[in-house]
Amino acid sequence: MAIGFVIRKNQYYDSVFLMGVNKRLSQNKGVLQTAVLMASEKNKQLLADIGIYGDQIVTAKPNDLIVAVIAETPQVVDTVLGGLDQALLALEEKVLVSLLHTLNDGLAKKPHANLAVLTIPGEYVFREARKALDAGLSLFIFSSNVPVEEERKLKELAAEKKLLVMGPDCGTSILGGVGIGFSNIINRGAFGVIGPSGTGLQEFTCQIHNAGFGISHAIGTGSHDLSDEIGGITSFQALDALEADPQTKVIAIIAKPPGRKTLERLIARFKLCGKPVVSCFLGARMDSFEGGEALTWTTTIDDAVLAAIQHVGEKPTAIRIELTHQERELASKSRADWAPEQRFLRGLFAGGTFCYQSQQILGEAGIVVHSNAPLDPHYKLADPDRSSEHTLIDMGDETYTLGRPHPMIDGTTRRQRIMSESRDPSVAVLLLDFILGFNASMDPVGELYDAILEAKQMVRQQGGELTIVASICGTKEDPQELDLQERLLREAGVIVFQSNAKAALFCCQLLKHV
């Protein structure tokens, strides 16, 4: 193994651009890991954690670019670092050149703008966000690693100014038909939705669209908003906005369990809402909470979609969470091909919400699941790179994305993990998700296609059969071509579903008699 790095002084790029550079460099043959990041103190610590350090890194400034490579040989390291300028130029040619360097420059160019998007390192968010709020702009903060106390101060200030802070760590929003972050091409319509996570919002909005309906607004709040430390500041503002919006007829909220105090306040607010509210708090038991006629509790995103459609008096066309007779038969046939030692499930997710929802569905079926992001802390993996029995991994977790592209953008990390899991003779099932839409990989299935074929062939050579189950989140209008992505998976022998919940339920059926 060989390690090398270069530092480019005063060469600043935002995190989204750097993700693209990282993806390009990581595709070189013989590369084990790459890190393309700005030299903030947190990022320098990240490099040290993976064994990359030196006096030049210690003295590097936040505006300096660090590109590090871990590869099989020194020659590969030299090749990758030598191709850095070409990678930067190739990506720069694809983006619009801007002469705007400050917030004031932007406001001079767009004096009527009402929203700013931040994709800068987390430690600099508070300062820049304050400037934007003081200028009268609402915020979409894609950046993560912002201290909770800073997030709370920003949201309190925004509320005072009657502005909205979506984030930090906000993956998706759709405002007036305009998608921000990871979003899909969605019809306009009568359904408003609120959610901390990007993939939860994407799954809900895509299913609404695919059922023939549309979205008024989808408001992302950031992953910490419903914690008791923040108290749901943005979520309550979003509820107020959607209740006042004449186009919105039904409001849905899709989230992991809120903090206890925040949940109690939310329920009280739901009961006062003048519009029907559909709530889906994944992994939470809501038996002890009374709802009311206008409040519907659901346990999966699919059920939330169905309940929302029922509230507008339309005939439900969304998929129910149940398997058909043919799907149950398919599970039995797939299970019959396994070798005697094959008995475990491994899930490798790009979407954290899908990892969470799958744990819930498997748990309800009595299947104990380990994870790096567990519903039950008792089943947290000691090492996220080492699976244990039934394991579901959120590969969009900070462990895998600091200094690397998110798996929705680049499938390299998942491709490596697919091969690793398939070498374990006890593994019978791989559960995957594929997420389409803006800013995601333009060919998410293509990035993993060869690894899927190789993994299945490897297990066959060992006398068994690897059952691979996948869900696709997207619409036919998305640029990745939903039909094409689904066809590629089926050609590779993958069992495909249109929702994560349905795919997880199928896995329960596969493991029913194991």
Q: Which residues pair with 7 in a beta bridge?
A: 66
pLDDT in tens, 150-180: 999 999 999 999 999 999 999 999 999 999 9
Q: Where are the domains of the chain?
A: 2-92, 98-169, 181-319, 325-510
pLDDT interval class at 319 (50, 70, 90): very low
pLDDT in tens, 485-497: 999 999 999 999 9
Q: d(Cα 183, Cα 420) in Å, to the nearest integer?
A: 31
Q: Which residues pair with 434 in a beta bridge?
A: 472
pLDDT in tens, 232-244: 999 999 999 999 9
**Which tokens go with 173?**
């929003």
Q: What is the pTM of this model?
A: 0.87
- Measured in degrees and rounded to the nearest 5, phi and psi for residue 269 equal -70, -40
Asked if the model's pLDDT at residue 22 lies above 90, the reply is no
pLDDT interval class at 318 (50, 70, 90): very low
Q: d(Cα 509, Cα 326) in Å, to the nearest integer?
A: 12
pLDDT interval class at 368 (50, 70, 90): very high
Q: Quote the pLDDT of residue 189.
A: 97
CATH number for domain 181-319, candidates 3.30.565.10, 3.40.190.10, 3.30.70.1280, 3.40.50.261: 3.40.50.261
* CATH class of the domain defined by 325-510: alpha beta
Minimum mean pLDDT among 41-50, 162-171, 205-214, 461-470: which range? Answer: 41-50
pLDDT interval class at 291 (50, 70, 90): low
Task: Report the largest interatomic distance among the alpha carbons of the chain, rounded to a whole angstrom.
Answer: 68
Q: d(Cα 394, Cα 292) in Å, to the nearest integer?
A: 35
Q: State the average pLDDT over residues 469-476.
A: 98
- In the sheet with 31-38, reading across from the earlier edge strand, the strands are 2-8, 65-71, 31-38
pLDDT in tens, 125-158: 999 999 999 999 999 999 888 999 999 999 999 9
Minimum mean pLDDT among 8-22, 156-170, 268-282, 361-375: which range? Answer: 8-22
Same fold, 181-319 and 325-510: yes
Positive or negative, the Cα torsion across 281, 286, 289, 291?
positive
**Which tokens go with 457?**
């062939």
Q: Which residues pair with 5 in a beta bridge?
A: 68
Q: State the average pLDDT over residues 494-511.
A: 97
Is it true that domain 98-169 has CATH number 3.30.430.20? no
Q: Which of 123, 277, 98 is nearest to 191 (CA)?
A: 277
Q: Quote the pLDDT of residue 181.
A: 94
More confident: 99 or 464: 464
More confident: 236 or 16: 236
**Which tokens go with 196?**
């901390």
% pLDDT > 70, the chain: 96
pLDDT interval class at 290 (50, 70, 90): low
For 128-176, give the secondary structure using H, E and C.
HHHHHHHCCCEEEECCCCCCHHHHHHHHHHHHHCCCCEECCCCCEEEEC
Q: State the average pLDDT over residues 333-360.
A: 96
Q: Quote the pLDDT of residue 316.
A: 53
Q: State the average pLDDT over residues 409-435.
A: 95
Q: What is the CATH number of domain 2-92?
A: 3.30.1360.30
Q: Quote the pLDDT of residue 16.
A: 72
Q: Which of 109, 111, 131 is nearest to 120 (CA)?
A: 131
Asked if the model's pLDDT at residue 80 lies above 80, the reply is yes
Q: Check: CB of residue 2 under 8 Å from CB of residue 32.
A: no
Q: State the average pLDDT over residues 299-316.
A: 86
* Residue 360 three-state SS: helix
- In the sheet with 467-473, reading across from the earlier edge strand, the strands are 370-371, 391-394, 344-349, 427-435, 467-473, 495-497
